[in-house]
Chains A and B, each alone.
Chain A
Amino acid sequence: MQTKRTIFSSKILPYWLILPQLAVTLIFFVWPAGQAVWQSFLREDAFGTSTEFVGLANYVAILHDPGYLNAMIVTVVFSIAVATVSIVVALVLAVAANSLLKSRSLYTTLLVWPYAVAPAVAGVLFWFMFNPTIGLIPYLLKGIGYHWDDRLNGTDAMILVVIAASWKQISYNFLFFLAGLQSIPKALIEAAAIDGAGPGKRFRDIVFPMLSPTTFFLLVVNVVYTMFDTFAVIHATTQGGPNQSTNILVYKVFTDGFIGLDLGSSSAQSVVLMVIVIALTFIQFRFVERNVQY
């Protein structure tokens, strides 16, 4: 790869140029992260009048808290469900759009639209559609004999947040899959056709393996998304309920810290999340780059 090298006449100018970015990172990321790490070792009362250093007690506490372990399981289920749904649906749509000759760009534009919708808005949208009292979908489900109630039924609530969180992510995945499909040389597909592979076999043996780097990348990105960026979706729909059934780790940080005012435990939970995101980013950089299969 070619890199452009710029020579600055002034020695200070380059530092000025990176200062805004550094400032944002320091003020909004490094400082709060440091605060979280420090606070995770403290026990404070709700009004901040007394503070005590307790070492790793907060970590020990959350790891023995059944509520926290439940949130972990919920997060794993939620992440896998959202990643699977959004990747599979996006792949199907991308294959369908890619097979079009004329209207491909129209469909692409339409399918990318949801990505422009804010997560909270998407959440509210689905909350309305699935609302047991006024929503259209529970009404239709009643027609086939299913009584939908995401306010009482934990499974229904989980399905609701999975759909709401996947909807937006489908657009994102779709774009990557479409680009991936278009970068597969047409001659490869033709060679496979002459080699006696039908459309399904061609997809399984040629197209899907060629997309595997894209798929792996999206898997990591989607897991990061569901673990950290779905706060708004949960907050706008189920708020972790009913009975903790959709209370994912990042939402629990919020409820314990800002509603429960247990800042020490909340900070310890954020530090755990931080470690997870660092690990995932490491995997992404380390393996996605290397996991090119050909």
Chain B
Amino acid sequence: MAAIDIKGVGKTYVGNVNAVSDISIAIADGEFIVLVGPSGCGKSTLLRMVAGLETITDGTVSIGNRVVNQIEPAERDIAMVFQNYALYPHMSVYDNLAYGLRNRGTPKAEIDARVAEAARMLELQPYLERKPRALSGGQRQRVAMGRAIVRKPAAFLFDEPLSNLDAKLRVSMRGEIKQLQKRLGTTSIYVTHDQLEAMTLADRLVVLNGGRIEQIGAPLEVYHRPASTFVASFIGSPAMNLVKTSVASGAVSIGDGETGLRANLPNGPVTLGLRAEDLRLSESGSGMPFEIVFIEDLGAQRLLHGNCGGQSVVVAVSPDLPLPGDIRLTIATDRLHFFAAETGKRIEAASI
């Protein structure tokens, strides 16, 4: 168990391709950090640098107060769970679990004990003699987890471990990973492109875009106060509506239409962020006019896709709510998010 300190880390590939630049994250002992971002944002590269599978071009990575830049992966005291599990296909489940321990010269009795313990935790006892090809996807995933657990490493590194599983299994494995990490208290870094996985697993989220950190924070903090339009559109489902508006003497308007919303901002263009679930259908007849284009019924929720002043907006409502012919939208002023029109950065405390 150890803290991980990532300081100013960057990765430049041959030909001056910057995959990751200037990443600093201080990870506390026992913390579950999720790196989330779209494909190509550098999250896997960052994880592989921590693991020692990629060289670090700039900055330092420390695991438990020890700078590990020049240390071999085997010596870093970490365990990694790979996307396609990377189980040794010619070894039995037992041997897969024991391989890392044998390489470190662990006594046979202790190997037996540790494998038995991990197998019990992951309910793998009936399969110890099987080869990986005789296991289902979920069982293989458990073996991959087990291989990490038996080593009792300072940190777990997860590289999109659930992306090969079907939707149902993914949800249950997600819960198991979370419980397991809580029980073992091992510092973990988890890479995913799935915002739902990120939200549910993380103690803290790190949202990456184009090799840079967009925001670090607890899941709800990131959800409620996204630092940029990128984070706003990435975290939360359905994605936050981002509407181009203009402010003239405190009044916010979309195109030519008044919204009835006010903001304490200088005159000029501004991007307004509205969560679909924060928007309400107006009962008084005032508010932003909204035309429905199509409706998605999700059972628990009904998503109204439509236009607001020529810009597409999604509204999430209860499926029982009757829809009037002429719909107008309102929103609580404390649920408004403003972002600078040019940079996409959040503008704080602007609404009145």
Contacts and interface: CB of A to CB of B under 8 A. Distances in A.
A191 interface: yes
Interface string B308-337: 000000000000000000000000000000
Interface string A189-202: 01111111110010
Interface in B143-186: 147, 151
Interface in A246-294: 293-294
A210 interface: yes
A206 interface: yes
A106 interface: no
How many chain B residues sit at the interface, stated as a range, is 20 to 34
Contact of A205 (B51, B99, B147): B99
B89 A190 contact: no
A188 interface: yes
Contacts of B78: 194
A210 B51 CA distance: 24
Nearest to A102: B14
Contacts of A205: 88, 99
A206 B104 CA distance: 16
Contact of A191 (B52, B80, B131, B133): B80
A210 B90 contact: yes
A188 B103 contact: no
Interface string B72-115: 11100011101110101110000000011001100000000000
Interface residues on A, range: 20 to 34
B82 A187 contact: yes
A97 to B, nearest CB: 20
B127 to A, nearest CB: 15
Contact of A185 (B80, B86, B104, B132): B86
Contact of B74 (A195, A209, A210, A212): A195
A215 B147 CA distance: 29
A187 B132 contact: no
Nearest to A194: B73
Contact of A197 (B52, B86, B103, B133): B103
A193 B73 contact: yes
Nearest to B100: A195
A191 B144 CA distance: 10
Given A205-B99, A294-B131, A193 B74 contact: yes
Contacts of B82: 187, 190-191
A206 B74 CA distance: 16
B79 A187 contact: no
Interface in A177-193: 185, 187-188, 190-193
A63 to B, nearest CB: 42
A194 B89 contact: no
Interface in A194-244: 194-198, 201, 205-206, 209-210, 212
Contact of B86 (A187, A196, A210, A212): A187
Contacts of B133: 294
Nearest to B98: A195
Given A196-B74, A197-B74, A294-B132, A190 B103 contact: no
Given A194-B80, A195-B103, A188 B132 contact: no
Nearest to A198: B74
B99 A195 contact: yes
Given A187-B83, A193-B72, 7 more contacts: A190-B51, A190-B73, A190-B80, A194-B73, A195-B99, A196-B100, A293-B89
